[in-house]
Amino acid sequence: MNNMLMVTFAMIISCYISIGISEARLKVGFYNKTCPDAESIVGSIVRDATEFNPRVPAFLLRLHFHDCFVQGCDGSILIDNGRISERIAVGHQGLRGFDVIESAKAQLEFVCPGVVSCADIVAMAARDAVAFSFGPNYEVETGRRDGFVSNKSLAGRMPDFRDSIQLLKHKFFDKGLNEKDLVVLSGAHTIGTTACFFLMGRLYNSSPHGGPDPSIDQDFLPELMETCPPNGDINFRLPIDHNSGEAFDIQILENIRSGFAVLQSDAKLMDDPVTKRILDSYFMRFPNQTVQPSFEADFVKSMVKMGRIGVKTGPKRGEIRRVCNTFN
């Protein structure tokens, strides 16, 4: 009898644990009852900001990536706490779009005070950024809480444009992402610009022998050098996706395959047999490959997967900030 009671008790505890875990997980429509207009409010703010500045979608997409890759998708990138702020780490230089997130938060606090996290706003805004750039529409899982820590010392493992392909893979593996995620999330460079600063080494002092990176197409190289001359303005910006920098499309992957990659980290995808095969798979049919993969569909899967990195759920693990750049 005692054994039966113990088994029953264990089953009850297990049930409660299972319920707790399932409630703690992210889900689509998390705010359907508590703030039913949350997603449309964020979408409206992003649309208006994009109409005012077409570069906003790239800002927001990059903001989500940089938030998730430090301590998980917890809104820590938004905190402005002076000299230790995560947002001022070297790996985060050039980040923009904070004002758009704050505008969305202010509107949400007016309608649903204390309900929608800043971390979720960042994720929703990135989804809308893709959609407003003629990319795929997808549903965002929500339910994240905002983190309690923001420190630039924690941002040292951000993927860097100078990283080797092996180091890039390792940094993605550390976050639970694989080679396909690396390829398709690099495809986010289909929108946005970069500064000449990030090209100078690749154009004029490429290792190991100096000079231009030999992987750059010889017809493309003079164009890059003219845009970013040795003594030119290192802050001058150019599209990352050559000839297709305003629309979300697969052209970025074709450019990488063809030697038209602007960023060194994108070009490195051709240095590894696994990432190269993934790139090629979107353009050619391999033996025993029954279905041609879809870049847009795979991008959505990887974005959802990235959005789960290190999420904080439940009141003990995070908070709902009143404003996004300050802890409560």
> Domain locations in the chain?
27-157, 165-302
What's the pLDDT at 290? 79
Place of tokens 């940089």: 66
Report residue 286's pLDDT band, with 50, 70 and 90 as the boundaries. Answer: confident
CATH of domain 27-157: 1.10.520.10
Which among 11, 2, 304, 310 has a CA at the least distance from the CA of 139? Answer: 304
Q: Provide the pLDDT for residue 64.
A: 98
The per-residue pLDDT for 15 is 40
How far is 312 from 300, CA to CA, in rounded Å? Answer: 22
Structure confidence by residue, pLDDT tens digits, 125-170: 999 999 999 999 999 999 999 999 999 999 988 999 999 999 999 9
State pLDDT tens for residues 197-226: 999 999 999 877 789 999 999 999 999 999
The mean pLDDT of 113-135, rounded to a whole number, is: 97
Instruction: Tell me which of 66, 92, 189, 242 is the catalytic residue.
Output: 66
Contact, 96 vs 59, CB < 8 A? yes
Residues 6+ apart with CB under 8 A from 10: none
The CATH number of the structural domain formed by 165-302 is 1.10.420.10
The phi, psi pair for 42, rounded to 5°, reads: -60, -45
User: How many C-beta neighbours within 10 Å does residue 18 have?
Assistant: 10
Peptide bond into 208 cis (omega under 30): yes
Neighbours of 106 (CB within 10 A): 13
Q: Are the CB atoms for 310 and 137 separated by under 8 Å?
A: no
Tens digit of each residue's pLDDT (9 = 90 or more) over 234-274: 999 999 999 998 899 999 999 999 999 999 999 999 999 99
Is residue 78 pLDDT above 70, yes or no?
A: yes
Residue 138 DSSP class: -
Residue 209 annotated as catalytic? no
The pLDDT of residue 140 is 97
* pTM strictly above 0.85: yes
Residue with tokens 């003990």: 316
Q: What is the pLDDT of residues 175-190, one digit of tens each?
A: 999 999 999 999 999 9
